[in-house]
Amino acid sequence: MKQAVVLILMVATCFGSTVKHQRRFPDDFVFGAATAAYQIEGAWNEDGKGENIWDHETHTNPTVVIDESNGDVAADSYHNYKRDVEMMRELGLDAYRFSISWSRILPTGFANEVNPAGIAYYNNLIDEMLKYNIAPLVTMFHFDMPKKLQDLGGILNPQFSDWFEDYARVVFENFGDRVMKFITFNEPKEYCILTLVGVGSDVKDPILNSMDVATYLCAKNLLLGHAKAYRLYDKEFREKYGGQCGITISVSWFEAATESPEDQEAVELRRQGEWGFFTHPIFSAEGGFPKELKEALTEKSAQENYSCSPLPDFTEEEKDLIRGTADFFGVNHYTAFLVSAIKKESVLTLPNVMNILDNFMFADDEWPKAASSWLTLAPNSIFKALSLLRTLYGDPIFYITENGWSTYEGRDLFDDDRVQYYRASMESMLNCLDAGIKLKGYMAWSLMDNFEWMQGYTERFGLYEVDFSDPARTRTPKKSAFVYKHIIKNRYVDYEYEPENMTMTIDEGH
Ligand code: NOJ
């Protein structure tokens, strides 16, 4: 009898200690997945939706997309939203981040004409999610500018921030009673620099090809729009609904290639030019664009015979309007780069405003590579990025609002590289939590395969595969979906776990 008790105690101690050393996510850590309207919805001209710049550009200039595809049908989530929610339940998600198509609810972009069918679609989606306790995180602008507004200059029109504020009011009025987290803009830099329909890219025929001037004007107007929407929420909706409003900025990790002072300086400038010119105005105590970036641009512009820097200044009033306008910091984090002052062969040639500042970025050869040219799996990069942001910006509340891995098109249900990437991200987030960083949640990109902008359907990011040749757009879970589900359920990373079979079910309580 005594021996049996000792044995039980030993087993319990061993078991206890394993459990104790297993790093876990707290129960209130929010696990979710993300998508965006143009990339999944389809129904591009149904039920009164207006045209947006992606509709227009892909129809009139199809070769801008690598496989000449478009989002006319995409994953057809407009008609399949119930299946989408079912997938969320299968995964056991706490939250789902999706975006509202501005021109679906305001066909011309202006708030004087609201499309009831558009409002109904998002109401249905939100209500369906809430039935199963899945919290909506709503992005208000994910690259799909209404065409009518673009005709007037889009984000470069000085009135843009007011149009955005009007749109935000419609969003808050219609959905604010049930949505507790709003994200004003997704990835400002990518909109202002990289996307075809942004204003700076020269990758493919752009609407405008004005890297320097347009990019910074876009930044200024976007930040003003963000700030006006935030202030509006604060003034008229926060008390009534008690929700939050933030922004999502893409923050890759940039590391100096060597310890040389030149590379140290290069990486500093690169960080500011990649994300600092959006994060600094909102999150720093000082406000406005980063000083070093301003100085570097002024110097560079003089060398290039401009009379002044392309970076517009904010008035003191504008600085105050923008500073502090985020209840949380949404970070899209995917990848990392080494930065050098000296050109290397492997340098990435993505269009980038920092090219004018003469520094170069490339990936380490050792880091596993995804299908997307810019995406690698670099060690512990979430932790490194958030640690720096915490130091710079006084301990904000973070959500990873996107993180994911691309594979080439074709059936890839056994996506072990994606599984490896997600597990590495989990470890890096656990490092954040151990260090006391206020990281509250994580949205995997993406719930399902979708239209990857200029890469069309050639690069796939989904936890669920979508069969784009099937009119029903059937969704099938990949191995990564099972692994993610296991992590969410158990709140730790189990490297031994392998799905028994690839059959997905909904667990009790979901
Ligand atoms: C970030 C963007 O927000 C999203 O639209 C895109 O599909 C992913 N990155 C992957 O490139």
Please report, for the domain that includes residue 321, its CATH number.
3.20.20.80
Nearest CA to ligand 1 atom 11: 452
Query: What does the pLDDT look like over 314-337, one tens digit per residue?
Result: 999 999 999 999 999 999 999 999
- Could you tell me the distance, in angstroms and rounded to a whole number, from the CA of residue 199 to the centre of ligand 1? 17
Pocket test for ligand 1, best of 187, 189, 252 (most atoms within 8 A of CB): 187
Nearest CA to ligand 1 atom 10: 452
- Could you tell me the distance, in angstroms and rounded to a whole number, from the CA of residue 452 to the centre of ligand 1? 7
Atom in ligand 1 nearest the alpha carbon of residue 332: 1
Residue 183 lies in a domain: yes
Nearest CA to ligand 1 atom 6: 452
Greatest extent of the chain over all pairs of C-alpha atoms, in Å: 91
> Across residues 32-61, what is the average pLDDT?
96
- Decide the pairing of beta strands 253-256 and 244-250: unpaired
Residue 497 lies in a domain: no
* First CA to last CA distance, the chain: 43
Atom in ligand 1 nearest the alpha carbon of residue 334: 9
| pLDDT for the residue numbered 205 | 43
pLDDT(208) > 70 = no
Query: What does the pLDDT look like over 136-171, one tens digit per residue?
Result: 999 999 999 999 999 998 999 999 999 999 999 999
Cβ of 292: how many Cβ atoms within 10 Å?
15
310 pLDDT band (50/70/90 cuts)?
A: confident
Q: Name residues whose C-beta falls within 8 Å of residue 124's C-beta, 6 or more positions apart in sequence.
A: 81
| pLDDT for the residue numbered 459 | 97
Residue 109 lies in a domain: yes
Query: Which one from 51, 187, 452, 459 is the annotated catalytic residue?
Result: 187
Angle at which helix 77-91 crosses helix 479-490, to 10 degrees, equals: 50
> Across residues 378-397, what is the average pLDDT?
98
C-alpha to C-alpha distance for 307 and 113, rounded to whole angstroms? 42
- Could you tell me the distance, in angstroms and rounded to a whole number, from the CA of residue 460 to the centre of ligand 1? 11
200 pLDDT band (50/70/90 cuts)?
A: low
Residue 508 lies in a domain: no
- Decide the pairing of beta strands 459-460 and 95-99: unpaired
- Could you tell me the distance, in angstroms and rounded to a whole number, from the CA of residue 308 to the centre of ligand 1? 33
Pocket test for ligand 1, best of 445, 449, 458 (most atoms within 8 A of CB): 445
- Could you tell me the distance, in angstroms and rounded to a whole number, from the CA of residue 298 to the centre of ligand 1? 31
Q: Is 427 a catalytic residue?
A: no
Atom in ligand 1 nearest the alpha carbon of residue 186: 3
pLDDT(215) > 90 = no
| pLDDT for the residue numbered 11 | 42
The answer to whether the CB of 463 falls within 8 A of the CB of 444 is yes
Residue 345 lies in a domain: yes
Atom in ligand 1 nearest the alpha carbon of residue 452: 7
The full 3-state SS of 375-411, as one line of letters, equals CECCCCHHHHHHHHHHHHHCCCCEEEEECCCCEECCC
Residue 509 lies in a domain: no
Pocket test for ligand 1, best of 184, 402, 459 (most atoms within 8 A of CB): 402
Whether residue 446 is preceded by a cis peptide bond, meaning omega within 30 degrees of 0, is yes
Query: What does the pLDDT look like over 241-279, one tens digit per residue?
Result: 999 999 999 999 999 999 999 999 999 999 998 999 999
Residue type, 267: V
Q: Which of 43-47, 299-303, 470-474 has the lowest mean pLDDT?
A: 299-303
- Could you tell me the distance, in angstroms and rounded to a whole number, from the CA of residue 320 to the centre of ligand 1? 30
What range does the domain containing 76 cover?
Answer: 29-490
Nearest CA to ligand 1 atom 2: 187
Residue 496 lies in a domain: no
- Could you tell me the distance, in angstroms and rounded to a whole number, from the CA of residue 197 to the centre of ligand 1? 14
- Could you tell me the distance, in angstroms and rounded to a whole number, from the CA of residue 113 to the centre of ligand 1? 30
> Across residues 275-295, what is the average pLDDT?
95
Residue 19 lies in a domain: no
Domain total of the chain = 1
Indicate the pTM of the whole model: 0.94
Closest CA to 495 of 485, 483, 506: 483
Atom in ligand 1 nearest the alpha carbon of residue 453: 7
Degrees (nearest 5) of the Cα angle 317, 224, 311? 85
pLDDT(365) > 70 = yes
| pLDDT for the residue numbered 192 | 87
- Could you tell me the distance, in angstroms and rounded to a whole number, from the CA of residue 480 to the centre of ligand 1? 18
C-alpha to C-alpha distance for 56 and 49, rounded to whole angstroms? 13
Atom in ligand 1 nearest the alpha carbon of residue 250: 1
- Cross-strand bridge partners of residue 397: none
Atom in ligand 1 nearest the alpha carbon of residue 461: 10
Q: Name residues whose C-beta falls within 8 Å of residue 378's C-beta, 6 or more positions apart in sequence.
A: 253, 335, 336, 363, 364, 367
Pocket test for ligand 1, best of 144, 406, 418, 453 (most atoms within 8 A of CB): 453
| pLDDT for the residue numbered 297 | 85
Residues with Cβ within 6 A of ligand 1?
A: 36, 39, 186-187, 332, 402, 445, 452, 461
| pLDDT for the residue numbered 198 | 60
> Across residues 230-249, what is the average pLDDT?
98
Query: Which one from 57, 402, 409, 459 is the annotated catalytic residue?
Result: 402
Q: Is 299 a catalytic residue?
A: no
Instruction: Give me the percent of the chain exceeding a pLDDT of 90.
Output: 79
| pLDDT for the residue numbered 506 | 98
